[in-house]
Amino acid sequence: MDSTVTSSETTSKLTLHRDPVKTVILASMMGTAIEFFDFYAYGTASAAYFPKVFFPQMTPLLATMLSLLTFGVAFVARPVGSFLFGHYGDRLGRKKTLVVSLLVMGVATVAIGFIPSYQVVGVWGALLLCICRFVQGIGLGGEWSGAVLVATENAPADKRALYGAFPEVGAPIGFFLCNGLFFVLERVLTPTQMMTVGWRIPFWASAVLVVIGLYVRRRLQETPLFKLAQEQDNTTKSPLREVFKSNWREILKGTFMMGATYALFCTLTTWALAFATTALGFSSAEFLLLLMIAIVEFAVMIMLTSVLADKVGRKKVLLTASVALVGFSLVFPYFLAGKHNLMGAVLFLGVGFLIMGTLYGPVGAVLPELFPTNVRYSGAGIAYNLAAVVGAAMAPTVTTWLIANYGLHAAGYYMLVLSVLAVVSWLLTKETKDVDYTK
């Protein structure tokens, strides 16, 4: 049933009608679970299958690098999506924009599963792959910020980080479902079958999740804080112009706060899978199983650190984790020395996802808190998706290049630079825990 809360956060006498907590959790979590299911499906396929499916004419190293570059295409497209969906999300509302972004993302993802291989259409296959990946990125660009606003704009003032964790925990759920499916397929199908049809199945399966997600989101009402802004005539016809004019500092800070998190994420998942199955001697099924175990830790840390951020503040939690990431960037290559080093791989994933969960959980509240209501969708989305370009688009490819040219010890240099920038950004940012979220 609907719960009502008299707004003590504002001088308005209006009553904020919030969606039921279960609806908020499902609508925000479902979208990001689908987003990350699609993200992992492409990341896993680009690391383990696409080099041979779409780039068999290349040397193994070049094929892997080109495949990982197609992975980065979506991140280049994501700021375009954040501009587009942010504009309409701040003008027309969160609900309608979220439904459209999920539909765009889902159609592009399913289409990837139908792209012919190099043996059938030559280089056109790789081109079609990039086109679908770009469209997928546009949909993804509007997804995250809308999902966290559905959560945080329905949250009590003292539980915004907890509510912001609902869409964030969709990431490990999507990861677990996708990698679990790949793991089962690897066990059931032969390597030849995986290369021909097996890798396509997760992309087709995404359609089921999209239909469920659309059903849940259509049941949402508009967020209470956006309706309040409409009642008070506090929306803007040009949110993009307004956010770049008045909040460009917050965009820069948010980008560099989040950039290192994205670099860590792609290092732990896409790059690690490619490296483990080529240089370390792990099979895809073996490393996917290790990732699935580590992802449980990821989910637990998202929830625990979000609750902690509501109690002690966001800055203390995230600054501490950013400093820890500086150290991890320097030492993780030594965990991956030697062939089939199981203990090193477990340590790499265990420590990495401990830091990752701490960084990723509270940021669902932090980025929206940097911006006022009338440009919050645009501002949070632009910062988040620019961080994806800075941190994720090039991380797997650059890390592979660094190792090829300077050795394994250099694998963390790119992430090191971004983590130092994250620390500096946090030192320059005030605590956001007690900001007035209705303005």
At residue 387, does pLDDT exceed 60?
yes
pLDDT band at 12 (very low <50, low <70, confident <90, very high): very low
From CA 212, how far away is CA 420, in angstroms rounded? 40
Buried/exposed code over 106-128 (b: 16+ C-beta within 10 A; e: otherwise): bbbbbbbbebebbeeeeeebbeb
**CB neighbour list of residue 319: distance below 8 Å, 6 or more residues apart:** 423, 426, 427
What pLDDT was estimated at residue 232? 65
Q: Which two tokens stand for residue 394?
A: 């090039």
Query: For all residues of the chain together, what is the average pLDDT?
Result: 85
Average pLDDT over residues 105-114: 91
Q: Fill in the amino acid letter for 369.
A: E
Q: Of 148, 174, 154, which Cα lies nearest the Cα of 384? A: 148
Q: Where along the chain do its domains lie?
A: 21-230+238-428
What pLDDT was estimated at residue 7? 39
For residues 103 and 210, the answer to whether their CB atoms sit within 8 Å is yes
The sign of the torsion formed by the CA atoms of 272, 296, 29, 15 equals negative
For residues 144 and 174, the answer to whether their CB atoms sit within 8 Å is no
Q: Of 179, 165, 353, which Cα lies nearest the Cα of 265? A: 353
Q: Which residue has the higher pLDDT, 332 or 213?
A: 332
Average pLDDT over residues 384-395: 84
At residue 121, does pLDDT exceed 70?
yes
Q: Of 307, 316, 21, which Cα lies nearest the Cα of 161? A: 307
From CA 194, how far away is CA 198, in angstroms rounded? 4
Q: Distance between the two ends of the chain, CA-based, in angstroms?
A: 27
Percentage above 70 pLDDT, the chain: 90
At residue 26, does pLDDT exceed 80?
no
The CATH superfamily label for domain 21-230+238-428 reads MFS general substrate transporter like domains (1.20.1250.20)
At residue 1, does pLDDT exceed 50?
no
At residue 288, does pLDDT exceed 60?
yes
What pLDDT was estimated at residue 18? 59
pLDDT band at 400 (very low <50, low <70, confident <90, very high): confident
Q: CB neighbours (10 Å) of residue 195?
A: 16
134-157 pLDDT, tens per residue?
998 888 877 777 788 878 878 888
At residue 11, does pLDDT exceed 50?
no
Residue 16 pairs with which residues in a beta bridge? 5
